[in-house]
């Protein structure tokens, strides 16, 4: 085993880092889970700040202490007070500084906070420490986290308007069926006249929704609960993930998102000096789809037996052919991490374009469906009124 692989795998062994100044112990706040909801945006900003401080020549412990001081703020400062979340985050940064000051490596200190710093994060930092490139590794981590934040923000922004339209449409239809239609249909029924079929259909739907609403709600909640429980099993999760990948448009979009995330993670790990087998094992943890995670197991098994990475990826028959071709080119040129980064950039762009196209099609589709439903309700109400007027 090489020195680099040992450093990445055995991150529990502290290295000797003895700054001249000793910090006071910090109470362990990890047990209560108070830091379990650190936003990726905040983490990316802190990592970039730490990299900049280290690059400027500041030692690690003072750099961590400076970041913690900035998060805590000062009571006499004229600027707005820091939030409780920032003060709590400052405590854990201070505890990182204390652990490093006590003789541990930064990766060792990070590994004691798994709710915040993932195995990917810890392994990259450990590899950077082994290769003497901690600043570059932290900058690479910051770039990766920031790209993840930007992609997530684009997805949420693209879906916000269509989702809001669907909610409004459902609320309008529910209001009409629950309050408007019953009052109007009472008048029609009292007239004891033969009603046209659209009106009879609307009355039937309104009556069914009003009578069985609670039952339908209970059945819906029970169904979602059972589906969630089933998806928590390994077999159910695998079946559900396979189903998602087979969806007409959403499946391709999910595959592109996962491929971009996986490629960027592998690129960052390899660029930091992590071996290919360790990189595949760590990257498997960032994949949300179990079908793709299973495919990574087969890739790792093939590579461990001396197989070619590009050929192993191709044999999974999950990833687009261009992925294996770019990986093969990167292997030939000795820049596999660059090829993987190019794959990630390519699919990030495709995801953004796909989202724009999907939203541009989804918005008029939702408007059309909402218009047809509300138009049918209005038509079903107005039709008997027109017939009565003609009869009079």
Q: What would the pLDDT profile of 54-85 be if each residue is shown by its tens digit?
A: 988 899 999 998 988 888 765 554 444 567 77
Could you tell me if residue 284 is inside a domain? yes
Query: In angstroms, rounded to a whole number, what is the distance separating the alpha carbons of residues 92 and 81?
Result: 19
Could you tell me if residue 201 is inside a domain? yes
Tell me the CA distances in angstroms from 181 to 120, 185, 213, 369, 387, one per residue in order. Answer: 57, 6, 15, 19, 18
State whether 161 and 208 are in the same domain. yes
pLDDT at position 221 = 92
Q: Which residues of the chain have pLDDT under 70?
A: 1-37, 73-82, 391-392
State whether 38 and 75 are in the same domain. yes
Range of the domain at 40: 3-132
State whether 156 and 288 are in the same domain. yes
pLDDT at position 222 = 93
Tell me the CA distances in angstroms from 144 to 53, 283, 344, one per residue in order. Answer: 19, 13, 11
Could you tell me if residue 228 is inside a domain? yes
Query: In angstroms, rounded to a whole number, what is the distance separating the alpha carbons of residues 290 and 354?
Result: 23
State whether 262 and 391 are in the same domain. yes
Tell me the CA distances in angstroms from 190 to 26, 58, 174, 211, 380, one per residue in order. Answer: 77, 86, 24, 20, 17
Using an 8 Å Cβ cutoff, are 106 and 125 in contact?
Answer: yes
DSSP single-letter state for residue 58: -
For residue 310, the tally of other CB atoms under 10 A from its CB is: 20
pLDDT at position 36 = 45
Using an 8 Å Cβ cutoff, are 143 and 272 in contact?
Answer: no
pLDDT at position 74 = 53
Predicted model pTM = 0.70
pLDDT in tens, 306-317: 888 888 888 888
């Amino acid at each position: 085993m090489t020195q680099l692989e040992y450093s990445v795998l055995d991150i529990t062994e502290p290295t000797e880092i003895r700054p001249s100044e000793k910090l006071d112990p910090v109470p362990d706040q990890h047990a209560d889970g108070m830091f379990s909801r650190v936003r990726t945006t905040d983490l990316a900003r802190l990592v970039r700040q730490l990299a900049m401080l280290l690059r400027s020549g500041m030692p690690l412990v003072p750099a961590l202490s400076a970041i913690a001081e900035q998060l805590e703020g000062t009571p006499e400062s004229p600027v707005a007070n820091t939030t409780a979340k920032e003060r709590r985050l400052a405590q854990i940064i201070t505890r990182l500084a204390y652990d490093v000051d006590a003789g541990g490596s930064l990766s060792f200190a990070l590994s004691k906070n798994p709710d915040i710093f993932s195995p990917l994060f810890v392994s990259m930092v450990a590899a950077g420490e082994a290769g003497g490139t901690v600043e570059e590794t932290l900058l690479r981590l910051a770039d990766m986290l920031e790209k993840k934040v930007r992609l997530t923000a684009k997805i949420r922004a693209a879906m916000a308007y269509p989702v809001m339209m669907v909610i409004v449409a459902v609320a309008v239809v529910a209001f009409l069926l629950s309050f408007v239609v019953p009052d109007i249909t009472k008048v029609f029924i009292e007239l004891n006249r033969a009603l046209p079929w659209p009106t009879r259909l609307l009355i039937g739907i309104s009556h069914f929704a009003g009578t069985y609403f609670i039952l339908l709600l209970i059945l819906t909640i029970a169904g979602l609960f059972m589906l969630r429980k089933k998806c928590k099993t390994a077999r159910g999760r695998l079946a559900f993930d396979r189903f998602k990948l087979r969806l007409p448009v959403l499946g391709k979009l999910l595959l592109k998102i996962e491929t971009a995330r996986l490629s960027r993670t592998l690129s960052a790990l390899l660029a930091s000096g992590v071996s290919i087998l360790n990189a595949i094992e760590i990257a498997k943890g960032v994949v949300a789809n179990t079908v793709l995670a299973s495919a990574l197991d087969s890739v790792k098994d093939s590579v461990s037996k001396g197989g070619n990475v590009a050929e192993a990826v191709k044999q999974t028959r999950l990833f687009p052919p261009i992925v294996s071709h770019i990986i093969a080119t990167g292997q030939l040129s000795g820049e596999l991490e660059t090829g993987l980064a190019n794959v990630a950039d390519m699919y990030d762009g495709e995801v953004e374009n796909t989202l724009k196209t999907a939203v541009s099609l989804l918005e008029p589709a939702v408007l059309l469906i909402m218009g047809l439903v509300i138009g049918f309700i209005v038509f079903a109400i107005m039709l008997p009124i027109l017939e009565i007027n003609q009869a009079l």
